[in-house]
A and B are shown apart, each in its own frame.
Chain A
Amino acid sequence: MTMPPAQGAAYTCPYCRMASDGGGGTCPACGAPVDIRLKVSDSGWIEQPPIRDMAHIRFGHSTCQVSGTYVPVAEMALHDQDSVFFSHHVLLHTDPNVRLGNLPLKGGWKRMRAGMPLIMMTAQGPGHIAFSADEPGETLAVPLAPGRAVDVVEHRFLVATGNVNYGWQNANVWFTTQDGDDEEWHYPLGRTMDTFQATGGNGLLLLHAPGNTFIRDLAPGQRILVQPGGLIWKDQSVRMFLHFEYPHGQYWFSSARYQAKSTWLTLQGPGRIAVQSVFERPEGSGSVRRSSGATTQYW
């Protein structure tokens, strides 16, 4: 679900579409600068500006301050009524009085097999606690209106507010190739995707994305092909499936069966998507034996 622009507000952030008074230089919901020109590519991608050093984001009774530029740090000043949850390896520092706990997670075996963190920790205010990722990139703030849910590619999650429900599901984007007698399985998006949905009030989701980030709104039925490793998050209303393209070679040994193929992820609107400019090299060459729902093109 893509949030509609807020009505009657002094300022509506073009990046997160949350309303505010527009003062203070940055959007209080997502930290985006308010005093810069919107950069939109000719094809409709909106360049997400980096959160300015030391910018504040508000949530509940608390604030989040983002500092640094190469590997930004998200430092929360937690009110005693507020909490956040996070994967334990992104914790950077905390006041001793912040109460740390853990969020019960189901499906531990599946999560372990999928390479996902087994431990999701919680932090309850009052006090300061800070988080950072382990690679250069940008911190993305995705404010969630009550009921709004987004799907996030695994390993992009940094921290979320306590009123955001966390779940995970099979990405259901996979294919197999043949290597001798062995069938190789490939998961271009990872085996699972995280799902976040705000409940009760506005929630805040912080992600970390390497490279630069671009967002786009897809109209109903509109499709775009992206590198699977480039997707960061999408609205739940956006459908996704694989698309394979095979080049025809000049000789028999360079035919589609033996040549490297292009593996794309088709995203179909309606809804908003976000991609990052850094992505992993696509894996797997040769023809596909089996796959999740996919389209194919030879050229």
Chain B
Amino acid sequence: MDRIECQWCKAQNEMGRTNCTTCGAPLDKKDLVTDSGWAEAPRLRDMTEFRFSSSTCQIEGEIVPVAEIALAQGDSVFFEHHVMLWKEPQVPMSALNTGGGMKRMLGGMPHILSVAHGPGRVAFSRDATGEVVVLPLHPSMELDVREHAFLAGTHSLTYSFVRIKGLANVLHGGGGMYMDRFVTHNEPGLLLLHGYGNVFQKTLQHGEKIMVEPGGFLYKDSSVTMNAVKQNVKTGLMGGHSMYLAEMSGPGRVGIQSMYVHHGSE
């Protein structure tokens, strides 16, 4: 039987479908890729639905999209509590202790992630214009995500966080930088991110490099290495300023957002 492959997540879909059942990407639209190889994250149609495990997720709205999840019995999702927009009263909640309380506090990250269990409906959204990026993770995949960028992860994902040494001055003005790490083991998982502005993804070949403004970084495969590279910029008055760019080296995917937080040049 003929199948259509989703250009975004590579899942196989039945002929005649207009949206991917795994990630919601339109199947009847050509991928938009810039001349240098950055692919736009698929713009999910309003009210698009896709499935994970026995549950469904529906994306609503376009400027600040909402991800509404209909959780089946036995399924659950975890998230930072401030992204929950609404929930049905009967949805059971629990907490996922992240460990590393002091480090997370210093890093400005939440100590506890909330978990919503099925059956029932919950919905999530962030606080600014942007796109929901749906990233199905196949078994054994590892993905590193900019802190506070993830919207929700499904129960089959293992969550941890990693400190990126050497980027101390890049994203937190000397306080260090943590990234959320999501790992799948035996079962596929689904990760929903919110990128500010528009989101683009590029797949780097082995050894291929790209310099990214650190505030624009959104996610990467853990196989992609990230190093801070200092750019010395001279000014007539102050002598010199330091500016850091993140040097990303392949192999693997890199995701960026076009509206970013600038953390100054010192």
Contact = CB atoms under 8 A, between A and B. Distances in A.
Interface of A: 53-54, 63, 65, 67-73, 75, 77, 88-89, 91-96, 100, 102, 104-106, 108-109, 112, 118-119, 121, 128, 130, 132-136
Contacts of B210: 93-96
B198 A69 contact: yes
B13 interface: no
Interface of B: 32, 34-36, 38, 40, 43, 63, 129-131, 196-198, 200, 209-213, 216, 231, 233-238, 241, 243, 245, 247, 256, 258-262, 265
B198 A135 contact: no
A108 B241 CA distance: 13
A94 B198 contact: no
A132 B259 contact: yes
B260 A68 contact: no
A73 B258 contact: yes
Contacts of A72: 198, 258
B238 A108 contact: yes
A34 B118 CA distance: 52
A25 to B, nearest CB: 15
Contacts of A65: 34-35
A104 B236 contact: yes
Interface centre among A75, A77, A134, A135 (most CB of B within 10 A): A134
A109 B237 contact: yes
Given A67-B34, A70-B63, A119 B241 contact: yes
A221 B121 CA distance: 62
Contacts of A63: 35
B36 A108 contact: no
Contacts of A54: 32, 34
B32 A53 contact: yes
A108 B237 CA distance: 5
A73 B198 CA distance: 8
Contacts of B35: 63, 65, 75, 77, 128
Given A67-B32, A73-B200, A106-B236, A96 B211 contact: yes
A72 B129 CA distance: 12
A53 B236 CA distance: 39
A104 B210 CA distance: 27
Given A95-B210, A96-B209, A118 B34 contact: no
Given A91-B213, A102-B233, 19 more contacts: A54-B34, A67-B34, A67-B200, A68-B200, A70-B259, A71-B129, A71-B198, A72-B198, A73-B200, A89-B265, A92-B256, A93-B216, A94-B210, A100-B231, A102-B234, A102-B235, A118-B241, A130-B36, A132-B197
A108 B235 contact: yes
Given A92-B260, A118-B235, A118-B238, A70 B34 contact: no
A118 B245 CA distance: 18
Contacts of B36: 75, 77, 95, 128, 130
A94 B43 CA distance: 24
Given A75-B38, A136-B129, A119 B197 contact: no
A70 B198 contact: yes
A232 to B, nearest CB: 19
A71 B197 contact: yes
Contact of A136 (B32, B197, B200): B197
A51 B208 CA distance: 31
Contacts of A68: 40, 197-198, 200, 258
**Which 9 A-B pairs have CB atoms at the shortest separation, nearest pair first?**
A108-B237, A71-B197, A68-B198, A128-B36, A71-B259, A132-B258, A71-B258, A136-B129, A89-B262
Contact of B211 (A73, A94, A133, A134): A94
Contacts of B197: 68, 70-71, 132, 136
